[in-house]
Amino acid sequence: MRRYRTVIIIALMGIVPMVAAVFVMRFILPAAEPVQAPPPVQQAAAAPAPVVEEEPDEVMVLAAARALPVGTLLDEQHLTEVGVEEDSVRRWHIGTEDLEPDEMPYGHVVRQAISAGAPVTLQSLVGPRQRGFLAAVLKPGMRAITVRLGAGTRHSGLVDPGDRVDVVLTAQSRDRGEQNVLARTILEDVRVVAVDRRIGSAASAAEGGGEVERTEIVTATLEVLPSQTGLLALGELEGELSLAVRPLAAAGAPAEPAEVVDIRSLLALPEENLQQKTVRVVRGSQVTDVTFGGAPGPAPFNEAVADAGLE
């Protein structure tokens, strides 16, 4: 009995401290708060680096140096170059970076009006070997007619497209059964738009106005009024047409009245160059002086002889 008591006391001595410890930890000591990690230190945001805007690349293209209306025949004074953003360049623009001098569109005609400084496009031009070129060259209300040239104009080859000329007709006239040759200026100050099949200046600006190889030309295409086409057609049928080139400074200047020159008046001696001659006629005791020559018209010699009774 005493032994059991000892065992119980020993057991209680082990259990009671454990229960007391649990009681103290659960109800007396405050609950331990979980340890939280310190908030991360926020770093000051770095100031954004300044953005450097790059200028867009530009491509140099052909442009109009001034307003170009429809029908303008291009040369050096009509063209310049402007820069266009690379993203805005289209295939119909004409770049100048790799453009050779002989590839410049000199001699082309404007078929769509181009404002000053605007890029020149392929659609706005028509070349000499393209369809519709001749119609684009003509001014509103005008007509183009091709005539065969006379020997003098044909062999010289000195007429170029763009020249201003007078048209001279040389033909046979038939008046009262007599034939005569006359020359008359039938048209004045008309523009040559083509010679043979060549349209455009013989010396392009790319050649620097150098020497031009001259060859025989057979026909010329002239820009005339509708009422003048029939006159040229009849003139070509009746005789030979020649072209007289007008100076550039005479554009729009009044011309002298056209005169008809015939072969008879051309070959006739001037009145002051005709010498008068006096013949003394002696008939018995009667002496008569007869003068003939000088004034144009029928020769007075026969009449004078008749009057003197020498027939």
pTM, entire model: 0.55
Domain closes at, from 110, 134, 158 = 134
Looking at residues 75-100, what average pLDDT do you find? 84
Do 150 and 252 lie in one domain? The reply is yes
Cβ proximity of 164 and 251 under 8 Å: yes
User: In this structure, what CATH number is given to the domain that contains residue 121?
Assistant: 3.90.1210.10
Number of domains in the chain: 3
Q: How confident is the model at residue 310 (pLDDT cuts 50, 70, 90)?
A: very low
Least confident range of 91-100, 142-151, 287-296: 287-296
Instruction: Say which range, 82-86, 116-120, 266-270, 297-301, has the weakest mean pLDDT.
Output: 297-301
pLDDT by residue (tens digit) across 189-243?
999 988 887 776 544 443 444 555 677 888 999 999 999 999 999 989 888 999 9
pLDDT band at 2 (very low <50, low <70, confident <90, very high): low
Lowest mean pLDDT among 35-39, 136-140, 151-155, 278-282: 35-39
The residue out of 95, 112, 134 marking a domain boundary is 134
Assess whether pLDDT exceeds 60 at residue 178. yes
Q: 299: domain range?
A: 272-307
Q: Hey, which residues does 221 pair with through a beta bridge?
A: 146, 194
Residue 94 lies in a domain: yes
Same domain, 125 and 241: no
Residue 90: the pLDDT is 83
Distances (CA, A) of 193 to 71, 110, 222, 263: 12, 15, 6, 32
Distances (CA, A) of 156 to 47, 128, 209, 242, 255: 82, 23, 19, 11, 25
Please check whether residue 175 lies inside any domain of the structure: yes
Q: Are 223 and 144 in contact (CB under 8 A)?
A: yes
pLDDT category of residue 165 using cuts at 50, 70 and 90: very high
Q: Are residues 67 and 108 in the same domain?
A: yes
Predicted confidence (pLDDT) per residue in 237-282, tens digit: 888 999 999 887 765 555 565 666 666 666 665 555 556 677 777 7
CA distance 78 to 88: 23
Clarify whether residues 66 and 107 are in a common domain.
yes
pLDDT of 301 reads 43
* pLDDT for the residue numbered 10: 72
Q: Can you tell me the distance from the alpha carbon of 178 to that of 57, in angstroms, rounded to the nearest whole number? A: 80
Confidence of residue 63 (pLDDT cuts 50, 70, 90): very high
The first and second tokens of residue 165, run together, are 């000329």
The answer as to whether 11 is a domain residue is no
My answer on whether 114 and 127 are in the same domain is yes
Tokens 């649990």: give the residue. 22
Given a cut of 80, whether residue 125 has pLDDT beyond it is: yes
End-to-end distance of the chain based on CA atoms, in angstroms?
A: 218
